[in-house]
Amino acid sequence: MRTIQFREAVCEAMSEEMRQDEAVYLMGEEVAEYNGAYKASKGMLDEFGPERVIDTPISEAGFSGIGVGSTLVGTRPIVEFMTFNFSLVGIDQIINNAAKIRQMSGGQFNCPIVFRGPTASAGQLGATHSQAFESWYANCPGLKVIVPSNPYDAKGLLKSAIRDEDPVIFMESEQMYGDKGEVPEEEYTIPIGKADIKREGEDVTIVSFGKIIKEAYAAAEKLEEEGISCEIIDLRTVRPLDYETVIASVKKTNRLVILEEAWPFGNVSTELSYQVQEQAFDFLDAPILKINTADTPAPYSPVLLKEWLPNSEDVVKAVKKVMYK
């Protein structure tokens, strides 16, 4: 194992897959000459050249459509959005074309494409650059949605996403690109749709994904000092969602808290809550609690933003509530 940054794990995954398959290429704003807006494609232009690492105009609808169309002639594009907030400009290509091609062609065509970039908030970026889109895309049949929380998972899951025969939404965070973690020297992949138990526990299950899971880790450390044992599950993939791992944990702990950086109405934690109560109702010793952002656009003010975002104290309070303490 060596320790590398999240951005390096992303770069390694893309580069390794491009070396193995000439059909894979990278396209997006500033991915080439600038080495990526977040330096996640550093050195790739030098290695693969301008035909496979392509700088685009600021036209998400245009280059998303080019990427989708190119899959029909045998390529496997990686389309980078500088932020998934900008994917709204190209969302017609993702929802109405990429996600529908296999069905609407009667199975004659598939669409092996990865749309990747950062999601959710990243400090004082304002309301239009601080939105979480995981549940938006997960709601659409035909798309797979991956939201890793560390370099190891990012590399293994991105390699699987690039090899997948269907469109994959791969969501990162500006605030994670500098995060460091252990990643093997040898090649590996992680299967899409498999959650990971990051911390074993007995008293309560905490489910999360993406960068916000760090608040769950911090809360678990505090709660351990008070004698409360938390099991933490990182979903890693929200479509398909690994219900089996979550339900097995709930059957052990009998309590569930879900932490998600998203608006509270109709999100991933809402769906997970429904599935758990339907499949494991008799095992629950307390109502399921979900922790989300405030039900407003993200504020710019740092004081308000701190209140808007879920934090470890929110998790501690929720755990104590389901423990009746």
Question: Mind telling me the catalytic residues?
Answer: 60, 129
The single-letter code of the amino acid at 52 is: R
The single-letter code of the amino acid at 214 is: K
- Residue 288 and residue 277 in contact, taking contact as beta carbons nearer than 8 Å: yes
CB atoms within 10 A of CB 103: 10
- Residue 257 and residue 291 in contact, taking contact as beta carbons nearer than 8 Å: yes
- Residue 266 and residue 293 in contact, taking contact as beta carbons nearer than 8 Å: no
Token pair listed for 83: 């932020």
Q: Is residue 281 exposed (0-12), middle (13-18) or buried (19+ Cβ within 10 Å)?
A: exposed
State how far Cα 188 lies from the chain centre: 19
